[in-house]
Amino acid sequence: MELKAKILDIQAGGRRIAILDDETASLLGVHSSDRIRIVYKNQKIIAIVNIASNFPHNQIGLYDEISKILEIKAGQTVEVQPAHIPESLSYVRAKVRGERLRENEIKTIVKDVVERHLSDVELAAFVTALDIYGLSMSEIEALSKAMVVTGETLNFNKSPILDKHSIGGIPGDKTSILIVPIVAAAGFTIPKTSSRAVTSPAGTADRVETLCPVNLTIKEIQEVVKKTNGCMVWGGALDLAPADDLFIQVEYPLGIDPLLLPSIMSKKKAIGATHVAIDIPTGRGAKIKTIGEADTLASDFIELGKRLGMNVQCALTFGEQPLGNAIGPALEAKEALTAIMGNGPADLKEKATIIAGMLFEMVGIEKGKQKAENILKSGKAESKLREIIEVQGGNAKIKPEEIKIGDKKTEVAAKKEGKVLWINNEGIARIAREAGAPKEKGAGVMLKVKLGKYIRKNEVLFEIYAERNTKLEAASKLAKKLQPLEVSRELEEKMLIGRVPTKIIHEKTFAIER
């Protein structure tokens, strides 16, 4: 059937969707969510149908994703035919029934995900089935490999290639800004591609962006790494394991994360990593609550690494409070720069040198942590960081006080005297986001106390920074409601943790970061 193109000038979030009216859809024999093949000149594309009763007859509505691929203008004629149901859908249905999938079946699913042949409903069904039935290690391996081959890869023509990753879950984890220059200063290659925040107040790319550009092309990354041994860039523009971003769009609203392992490891494989240190924050308020859970996850990372040809080691780190004191892109960048210059919080420097030391020992260097500490103390790490900043297009001479933070500020004080017994990671993260982070880079929270600190009544617990008064007021109200720090004179005085049933103050936030 020939139809005239109606260009909608609207994006569909990457999805390939076409709109038909009821009568035209009936004549074609298609229903909503069926596939059609659109042919224009020498171009062919498979699209998913949406049906609108009031849409013009004998026309087809094309979102930007389709019109740009076809390079078509309004009013031009296209040939439209019903398309077969994708083969991958039968494998999705098999997983919904709880069946194990073979490598070629998983590869077919991932290929169709990347080519947008599966609808949102079908993709959601697949991800939900993975969450319910779990994945065997063979399925995880197959998913990881399929996610790599359906995207771009980086080749630096050298070995070893070192990398690190944190599974997230605690605010303020800015260690990459220290680890990358420490490792690069030792002469090793560490091309760090990072995410922006999904549910946290800042991702590594958000932090680094306050120091230098992070939206680099593959060619630009290769140039930066060639000159400096390292980089810190946003991976979202590189098309590395693109299926992962599409899976996350489904995982986030559903509040599930069954693809944690293949998501992380496929991106490490795509950049050519040979040695990877995985940070698993553990404890109350972290994603992973117990040492047992952390051990199991670490074993899975190590096994998957072997199957993908990577040497993987895991650090189980303390996750019961934010790392350092700063939470929010600019505040964290300022703290990281201060730390690499010799000051800054002890816990941040300790964690950074532990993980950098692990990487050193993985490539045969003895006393890795000591070597990492020496590089940090000598100023070599700072020099390397400034070199990376400059080559990526930033100001190599930037000082911590020159990093712009929000000029709107309020303080939250202790209502009584005592020790800080508990810090609610989730609560602190929510307050920072309410203040405007990560979109507004200068927004966030600055902790003035940490666990175990004895404080007096009316002493400041934390400061909230924002770029707008309305955001500051909203964050301040949320802080009063959540009260994310628990203060008491003696542990015995705080025996009641909660009461059930009780009024629900807020829904639990789902944390997913890459």
Structure tokens at 210: 């306050």
What does the angle CA 311 – CA 313 – CA 318 come to, to the nearest 5 degrees? 160
The reply to whether 257 belongs to the active site is yes
Structure tokens at 106: 């998983």
Antiparallel, parallel or unpaired: β 59-62 and 17-20: antiparallel
Q: 257, 279, 300, 347: which is the annotated catalytic residue?
A: 257
Count the Cβ atoms, other than its own, within 10 Å of residue 318. Answer: 15
Residue 491 carries which DSSP code? G
**What is the C-alpha separation between 278 and 265, in angstroms, rounded?**
10
Strands (E), 302-367: 311-318, 326-327
Q: Measuring CA to CA, how many Å separate 132 from each of 62, 120, 249?
A: 36, 18, 18
Count the Cβ atoms, other than its own, within 10 Å of residue 226. Answer: 14
**What is the C-alpha separation between 345 and 440, in angstroms, rounded?**
24
DSSP states along 68-119: HHHT--TT-EEEEEE-PPPHHHHHHHHHHTT----HHHHHHHHHHHHTT-S-
Listed in sequence order, the residues at least 6 apart from 77 whose beta carbon sits closer than 8 Å to its beta carbon are: 2, 3, 4, 5
Active site residues: 257
